[in-house]
Each structure stands twice: as C-alpha cells, then as structure tokens.
C-alpha cells in the first residue's frame, strides 16, 4: 500500500520534513516514490504539490495522521471530493 508520510531531514533539533509518497513497508527515510511537499514545524511553513497529492489520494494512498492534519488545514480533501464528483 502507498502511504503519504513525513521524511525527516535537517540538523539535530532543527528538523524539517518532506511529505512523500512511499511504500508502507519502507523505512522512514527510505527512497520515496514521489516528493509531494514540505513542512517546517518551527516556522509552520507548508508547501504542497496539490495536484500530485490529489492524484495519489485518488489512487488510494493513505496519509499518516500528521499528514492528514496538514492536508486538512490546506483544504486538500475538499479538492479530492470535488474531483471525484466531476
């Protein structure tokens, strides 16, 4: 199964994360299928590739709890349901 989850990078105590699509059995920092965004918890900066995320969600990818909250704040799930309805 494909999961949307966070991949950690950066220095110690200064972590940033990339939102990635990856096989659910792969390790956290393994090679992703696709990088779909960026999240910096220190500055609360979020950059998302919304069309790519919508495509992956329509294909059945499951977001982790943290990624789900980030996507809900950005109203991505509304776009997924709008695309499914049309």
| Residue 78 confidence (pLDDT) | 85
Domains of the chain: 2-85 (3.30.1320.10)
Instruction: Identify the band that residue 86 occupies on the pLDDT scale cut at 50, 70 and 90.
Output: low
* Cβ–Cβ < 8 Å for 71, 53: yes
- Using alpha carbons, list the distances in angstroms from residue 68 to 12, 13, 37, 39: 25, 24, 13, 13
pLDDT level of residue 28 (50, 70, 90 thresholds):
confident
Q: Taking the model in full, what pTM does it have? A: 0.87
Structure tokens that stand for 62 in this block: 């499951």
SS3 state of residue 76: helix
């Amino acid at each position: 199964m494909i999961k949307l989850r966070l991949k950690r990078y950066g220095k110690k105590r200064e972590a940033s994360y990339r939102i990635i699509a990856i096989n659910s059995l792969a390790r956290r920092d393994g090679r992703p299928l696709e990088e779909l965004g960026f999240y910096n918890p220190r500055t609360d900066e979020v950059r998302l590739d919304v069309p790519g995320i919508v495509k992956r969600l329509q294909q059945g990818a499951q977001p982790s709890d943290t990624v789900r909250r980030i996507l809900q704040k950005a109203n991505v799930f509304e776009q997924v349901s709008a695309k499914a309805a049309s």
